Amino acid sequence: MFSFDAALLALDLIGVFFFAVSGSLLAARKRFDVVGSVLLASLVGLGGGVIRDVLINAGPPAVFTNPWYLLPPVLAAGLVFFLFESVQRYTSLLTYFDAGGLALFCMSGALKAINAGLHPVAAVLLGVTTAVGGGVLRDITANEVPQLFDAKDIYALPAFTGAGLTVLVWNLGAFTWATALAIAMLVFAFRILAWRRHWFVPLAVNGWHRQES
């Protein structure tokens, strides 16, 4: 049986874990210590949800009222601490875990907006904000150019796609565990394909030439 609260909590916790692993991988690449790894994992994993809850005035953010939210960043930092020696050559892992978090958070943000009574357009925007917010905080903290603003990559469009489909399917009364999984897989595939095939959107000024890396 589908439960809205259970679906939202599951999407949030799994999304926190995926984003947190991406944060710990970046911390390891930057040679942060284990405390820095936990903090960066927490920032990326929980940042988007905090922004979401503050924007919709949902009271104290979920991370401060539900201790389960603190577990995924610790698990992610521990996983990277013990396994990074064997996975550090796979630099694409960070992108894969980030894509997983993006796919889940764009849905959880849209669902929470719907539950708060926001109209569909606002729900889509909140889903995107939830999805990209943590990644921006992670990259800025680690002194990286946020992926959201990388001219040679597509980051926000997969989140828009996932949030839009979530709102559409919900309004059609067809949102189930199966449709949620399908949306998450679509967003994940979109993000990874865009990264692998170097898809991009036009620059802000027409006529400017895109510099090659």
**In this structure, what DSSP letter does residue 208 have?**
P
CA distance linking residue 110 with residue 194, whole number of Å? 23
Three-state DSSP state, 122: helix
Three-state DSSP state, 209: coil
pLDDT string in tens for the chain (213-residue length): 557 778 888 889 999 999 999 999 999 888 899 999 999 999 999 999 999 999 998 888 888 889 899 999 999 999 999 887 766 666 688 899 999 999 999 999 999 999 999 999 999 999 999 999 999 999 999 988 888 888 778 899 999 999 999 999 999 999 998 999 999 999 999 999 999 998 887 777 765 555 554
Per the CB < 8 A criterion, the answer to whether 163 and 78 are in contact is no
pTM of the predicted model over 0.85 = yes
Q: Which two tokens stand for residue 50?
A: 């905090």
**In this structure, what DSSP letter does residue 204 have?**
S
Per the CB < 8 A criterion, the answer to whether 43 and 23 are in contact is yes
CA distance linking residue 156 with residue 142, whole number of Å? 20
CA distance linking residue 39 with residue 9, whole number of Å? 22
